[in-house]
Amino acid sequence: MQVNRIDEGLSVSPQISPEDVPDLAMMGFRAIVCNRPDGEGPDQPTQEEIAAVAKAAGLEMRYLPVVAGMVSDDDAAAFAAALRELPGPVLAYCHTGTRSATLWSLAEAGRRPLPDILRRTRAAGYDVNGVARRTSSSSTRPASAPRWRAARARAPRPVPAVRAWRRLERSGVQFVV
């Protein structure tokens, strides 16, 4: 079992097994968050199996399934609420741990500086640079502003030479270099 510490209150891990739960309790964890939907993998234990062993070991359990690549702002808000409500330290897991690290990154946006979020996840072995723009924009964008407008305002404008090149490409002109 691989446990990757993000901060003092949270560590993330790839899929755990029911046999790992007593070891987690001995390591000092007081709660587990499952971010992997049941049935995602053929050999994965269900969250009910993990929850039963967790309860017997005196650990609290929360099931917050997130489909890989589909982390929403609502998922991040639910994850933040779970971290506030559950006793710590907490172990969150999914297939590889990346979803759990991503959820933490989005939940911490606005509370921690982006470089700190990236440093902590990188030190734990996870690359969340793909959500860095989303993380940084969620802390500076007013709640009423549409996301597309905020992204469009930051998008670089093509320089005139690039626009001329694109016009020539569309006209069918061929270049030999």
77-86: pLDDT as tens digits: 898 999 999 9
Q: How many angstroms separate the CA atoms of 8 and 126, rounded?
A: 17
pLDDT digits 0-9 by tens, 131-162: 666 555 544 443 444 444 444 455 555 555 55
Is the pLDDT at 34 greater than 90? The verdict is yes
State pTM to two decimals: 0.71
Q: Which of 61-70, 74-83, 164-173 has the lowest mean pLDDT?
A: 164-173
CA–CA gap between residue 82 and residue 86 (Å, rounded)? 6
Nearest to 92 by CA among 41, 16, 28: 16
> Using one digit for the tens of pLDDT, what is the confidence trace for 86-127?
988 999 999 888 889 888 888 888 787 788 888 888 888 887
What pLDDT is attached to residue 151?
46
List, for residues 37-53, the tens digit of each pLDDT value: 888 888 889 989 999 99
Q: What is the DSSP string of 156-171?
A: PPPPHHHHHHHHHHHH
The CATH architecture to which 4-147 belongs is Alpha-Beta Complex (3.90)
User: Could you give the angle at the alpha carbon of 30 between the alpha carbons of 94 and 8, nearest 5°?
Assistant: 80
Res. 12: pLDDT tops 80: yes
**What local confidence, expressed as pLDDT, does residue 7 receive?**
87
